[in-house]
Amino acid sequence: MAGIQIDGYFPDTSTTNGYFGWFHDAQFVIRLPDNWNGKLVITGAPGVRRQYANDYILSDWFVSRGYAYASTDKGNSGTSFHNDGVNPGDAIAEWHRRVTELTVAAKEVVRQRYGALPAYTYMTGLSNGGYLTRYALENRPAAVRAAVANIALIGRIGKPMITLHGTLDSLLPMSTNSDNYVAMIHGEGRGRLHRYYVVEAGNHVDQLYDEFPDKLRPITSCYRAAFIALENWVQGKGNRKPPASKRIARVAGTDLANQCSLD
């Protein structure tokens, strides 16, 4: 995967990210493949991790398919990230600003590298990165009101979106997270823009499949199938819609780590 990698950071006052000995937050990575397909993917780190956390699952796969790729540490990381800021919600609200900041910058970098802006820009993410995707699709831009409103989601998405959630996710259970968000989307009358795929025996952390191969299934293969379905949905101008929301069964005897059908 020949190309260019750019590592850097935006101005910030917090210092939880120690990569490169910088001890400076708001770090990012941008990857520009030689075989660019004309599109860009933006993401933020899952959990309390940093800009390279998605490399094995997302970055390599996207770059191999010709996507320019950019990821941010969200402006703060680590288990004490919530101390960044003054008012309640400041630390998470910073995630919104950082992913927006990176999107603007990455588009300009793409223009400089290839001589054209991306024809399509996709936002994706895992765990907290998925939260950022939801926020980005709800706001183009957003008016921030107060404390809770800074981090609240309401379901009023403005672009096509696909959600995946595993039935055995014990960190962020479906019943208290994605199920509620799906209800919010429908409450806002935006159900036509959303698909919800429930992955049977999926967990929040795919590597646990190595320890319990007879009980779990990794979600990565389903994620990749869903992203391709999203591409077709968006770039087909709505004429190539993905399958209806459904439960994806765990079929014994199949290569669960590499195969997943949404049909």
- What is the DSSP secondary structure assignment for residue 244, as one 8-state letter? P
Last residue of a domain, one of 102, 125, 153: 153
CA distance 13 to 2: 34
Backbone phi, then psi, for 226, in 5-degree steps?
A: -70, -35
pTM of the shown model: 0.69
Enclosing domain of residue 220? 159-263
Do 148 and 173 fall within a single domain?
Answer: no
Do 218 and 107 fall within a single domain?
Answer: no
Nearest by Cα to 228 from 200, 202, 262, 196: 262
Q: Are 6 and 109 in contact (CB under 8 A)?
A: yes
Backbone phi, then psi, for 176, in 5-degree steps?
A: -105, 0
> 3-state DSSP call for residue 243?
coil
CA distance 41 to 104: 12
Last residue of a domain, one of 133, 153, 173: 153
Do 81 and 210 fall within a single domain?
Answer: no
Q: Are 106 and 122 in contact (CB under 8 A)?
A: no
**Residue pLDDT, tens place only, 223-239:** 999 999 999 999 998 88
Domain count, the chain: 2
Percent of the chain exceeding pLDDT 90 equals 67
Do 201 and 75 fall within a single domain?
Answer: no
CB within 8 Å of 123: residues ≥ 6 apart: 41, 42, 43, 99, 103, 132, 133, 136, 137
CATH number at 12 reads 3.40.50
Do 110 and 58 fall within a single domain?
Answer: yes
Do 128 and 4 fall within a single domain?
Answer: yes
**Residue pLDDT, tens place only, 45-69:** 888 888 888 888 899 999 999 999 9
Do 243 and 133 fall within a single domain?
Answer: no
Structure confidence at residue 147 (pLDDT) = 43
Q: What is the average per-residue pLDDT within 26-53?
A: 93
CA distance 104 to 148: 26
